Amino acid sequence: MKDNRKIILEKVSPFKWRIPRIDKMRVEGIIYANDTLIESVKRDDAHIQVANVAYLPGIQMYSLAMPDIHYGYGFPIGGVAATDLGNGVISPGGVGYDINCGVRVLRTSINYREISAYIGKIISEMYNNIPCGVGSQGKLRLDKQELRNVMKNGAKWAIDNGFGWDEDLRFIEENGRMGGADPDAVSERAYERGKRQLGTLGAGNHFLEIQVVDEIFDKEAAEIMGIEKGNITVMIHTGSRGFGHQVCSDYVHLLQSSMRKYKIQLPDNELASVPINSPEGKRYFSAMKSAANFAWANREIIQHWVRKSFSTVMGASPESLGMHLIYDVAHNIAKIEVHNINGKNKKVCVHRKGATRAFPPGHPDIPEKYRKIGQPVLIPGDMGTYSYILVGTEKAMEETFGSTCHGAGRVLSRHKALKITANRSVQNEMKKKGIIVKAKSIRTLREEVPDAYKDIDEVIDTVEHAGISRKIIRLKPIGVIKG
């Protein structure tokens, strides 16, 4: 059906755009972008999805989008929406198919000069230890009961089974476990897909990256995080694998059919939603939490093998190499949080899809170690450019439900990326930049070519100038594993 709505973008500041209410939109739309980035938003119609989200029953304040926004399933990737717990809805499209896709970063006490000759060996060792690629299966073989324990306990299950350190839990969002997960809300198909995928990286934009601390913008904050210029960090980007994908797929179908029951009409059927407190809403939320916990266990196990790989090549223990977790944060998740809505504190369901939590200094939900500076925000670039560590701000709490960007954001589809790289060796291009790349598939490298992504520096400058996060550290890739 032809969309006859006239969706307008009004510039309200150099880094912020407004979509006025039309038709049955319940709130306005807000997109954080500069003049260059907004053009890519228009080209792929992501702003239309921002407007569509504004139709959700119970949506609060605004339908929001970050500067790395691009077109997604129902919600745009880079979208944020908070809904009222009383009359609002929950939507799988507002979380995404890769439930709790997220990022964790380890620091080390290793200087680049000490390790430069070993990067290739470490990349090979990690590649051998951590399965990657489409449908990859890990070293663990879990029966149904053990997988249920993973769903309930998340990263703690991994640590209890020898895959991590107790201190890690303090530096994971939700301490690596969301309460209220219900394994009975998960289908048999999801169990089958998940039972051999713990400790695997997957494919697509997921990666392991060895980085060097290239620039420090706030020395005090970097010191609190234990980061020094010239030292090595490791970034892990992955989620809940086929397990989470199946959970989302199951509930998209269920909720699409349930919408009629609750008389919910939306401009896009991909926004399938039901009341949060309905039986279907509660069941989805419990299944989503199960997948979120699976993802935290997955990243914890991968981190264990990263530590082991460094230890094997360097001939030293992970402890002596200073391989401590800085932070782990989700960027595809729904959470019940307290936010100030029209001058009153209120519990709402915050959907973040391709958006990162960015809580400010002093917030009780961030580790005590970081309360002076704000929550660490981990933002990967593409494999040929910088990544960043930011911190959250008060302005983010006021304007975006404590949210910011999650990465560079695609500007080319995978099909177009393959087309422009038909006669190129992406691996050699990276080598010329001083980046060792190892991948399960050459196709993945071509799909993930840096040309396919927005300029990460523009994205970071936008969120910083908009005041919704603050730049602390820049990280340069020197070794990358892709699926």
Q: Across residues 460-476, what is the average pLDDT?
A: 98
Lowest mean pLDDT among 105-119, 185-199, 360-374, 439-453: 439-453
**Annotated catalytic residue within 237, 339, 351, 406:** 406
pLDDT for 318-332, tens place per residue?
999 999 999 999 999
Q: Is 253 a catalytic residue?
A: no
Q: b/e per residue, 380-394, with b = 16+ CB within 10 A?
A: bbbbbbbbbbbbbbb
Percent of the chain with pLDDT over 90: 95
Q: Does the pLDDT value for residue 197 go beyond 50? A: yes
Whole-number average pLDDT of the chain: 96
Whole-number pLDDT of residue 85: 97
Whole-number pLDDT of residue 2: 53
Count of CB atoms situated within 10 Å of the CB of 250 = 18
Q: Across residues 132-160, what is the average pLDDT?
A: 92
CATH of 102-253+270-337+355-482, one of 3.50.50.60, 3.40.50.880, 3.90.1150.10, 3.90.1860.10: 3.90.1860.10
Q: Does the pLDDT value for residue 215 go beyond 60? A: yes
